[in-house]
Chains A and B, each alone.
Chain A
Amino acid sequence: MSTRREEAPPGSRAAQSWAGLTTLTRIRIGGVRLTRVRKSRIFLVLAIAGPGVVAANAGNDAAGIATYASAGSQFVYRTLFFMVLVTVALVLVQEMAVRLGTYTGKGLAALIREQFSLRFTALAIGCVLLANTGLVVSEFAGLGAAFELLGVSRYLITPIAAVAIWALVVFGSYRYAERIFLVMSLAFLAYPIAAVLGHPDWKAVGLNLAIPHFEFTKAYLLLGVALIGTTVSPYMQLYAAAGVVDKGADPADYPRARIDAISGAIFACVVSVTIIIATAAAIGGTGPLTSASEAAQALRPVAGQAAEGLFALGLIGASALAGAVVPLSSAYAISEAVGVERSVSRRFTEARLFLGLFTVQVIIGAALALTRINLITLLIGTQVLQGIVTPVILVYILILTSRRSVLGKAANGPVFRLVTGVCVAGVSAMSLLLLGSTVLGFFGLG
């Protein structure tokens, strides 16, 4: 007789019950196997589609859809080559973020605090906060635009949505709501189908994807910066690094994490490109996008008359999803840099800094979405802001991944440094050009 059955001498009572147990296990085997098989199949599907879908959805929020749709409407296929460059940039940057996460096991904000002086940390955090607040504004603008498609005034729905999202997060039932929003946002997966059914000029698409071309106009520059901002946003980099850290991925897991990150980035960009193509085929050449119902026309080949409804559904889902996650993530990043993320864990509502940052962002987001600016203009404007701020965060990531004291042997090699350096310099040059021409415009010189 013993506490642990395995230690029991043969022939004892315990050994008999061990025999009894094996029969029980044998009876159960069928059931056990069944549950196991079922589970693993779901995981397999999720493992293939999951990260990509989630990443694509995280990127293709309200502002993303508006920006890509505007690109298709204003420049038809002429931004496609630029999107190829942006995809390369996203792949490079996401790979670096994931490498930092797997090799150091720390979030990006914590890493910046440890590696840079406090003033530079404050600069980085300020940029993240600025970019994310812009994103929050765009999410509420997206919600407003979606409800206006359904015939509800945005002045009515935005305050309600702000209070609802705030309450869902603070009182803790957000996790359930999130799944509903995610399913709703899957409506945007209709875009690839619409891109095919919409009979775009495939020859023009192919040529524009393969042959380098740019337009040296202010409108193209503006949209280019917005495309960068919405695709390579600071938020996405924090997200990518935090993702691997939370899973406990270490250097041994890095090859897998890298494949995940790269395939996720490419998948997200492919979806973005199909949005441009679908919109270009539907309303290409009609000038800048001015309303959500114009953007919804792109889904007509799939949904016919219901296109606006489908578009609104997707927009509500994507905006509500990001409307909570984005302000939470900037509040978390700041708490992490200050070093109080631990105190947030148990008493979420008692962590004043965290809750305050979250609340302020939701209020600013909703308030700016209530101004009388055209919603599409507001949506694209926030992405231009992101595009201007993004290079700052990219410089931090580039410096961190080039430091041998941080990554050891996994630090960037000279060739990689050159490629990413050129990439970051290009992105910076574009946002500086835009900033410069805007400032000149203020003085009537532009």
Chain B
Amino acid sequence: MEIGYYPGCSLEGTAKEFDKSLKEVLKVLDVNLKEIEDWSCCGASSAHSAGNTLAVALPARNLKLADDQGLKEIVAPCAACFNRLVTAKHELKFDESMRIKVEKLLEEKTSFNADIYNILQLFQKIGMEKIKENVKINLKNLKVACYYGCLLVRPNDIIQFDDTENPLSMEEIVMASGAQPVNWNFKTECCGASLSIVHTGIVEKLSKQIMDNAILHKADIIAVACPMCHSNLDMRQLNIKKDYPGHKEIPVVYISELVGLALGIDPAKLGLNSHFIDPMKVLNSAITEEAAI
């Protein structure tokens, strides 16, 4: 299977493990990624704070590039990029006056035929069966809290993916990888998102609430599918430990890292050594000796 690839700015930098692990996993699962040539930033949350037309124009450029490069489907692992691309496509498709304004900004016609998938949808397309048949490491003792964050499941009428209140698509993938998802209450609660730099204190508080709930429900690790979520829960956890003495540490992994681990890929190749909170201790203790299949 071949699919277009829109990594987004963070997958090149702060979320490098996401990119690395995804590429390793897709190698095993026979998926060829074709990166959109010369893609540019989608604008994330800053663009729609500045203006609606800019917020649609920046993703629109990339949608056109995908069409021009013959890519019928693209996967955008970053939840924010995914959300912006899908929303932009929706606006261009259904709001004629917006499309005209955006074409003025781009100084060219728009084109938005490609289907956009997030990483969970990509795994769904690959199929749980394919993941299952490639599993090499037994993760059945690993309890995983699946954290979706905000932008993967909202706004439901535009994204039309899973359920806004109780999504289960990531749990399906975790189960296909052999691990145990836990039932918990903060699946779609906000971590503070882009307030990370400006209001780090708020992000720490919100992230801690999420992590505490995952621990309360006996999770060993948290799985995420968004670089922002990962950054707030992982990078900021160092400070959370300082600001909240007694905080129970919990590692945070990307869903692609988790799947990669189950597929027997070397953790270093997956980027599992680049986290701020080292997940290897928890992961290793969950993988028993007889676990190698």
Does B bind A? Answer: no
Binding site for A on B (CB under 8 A): none
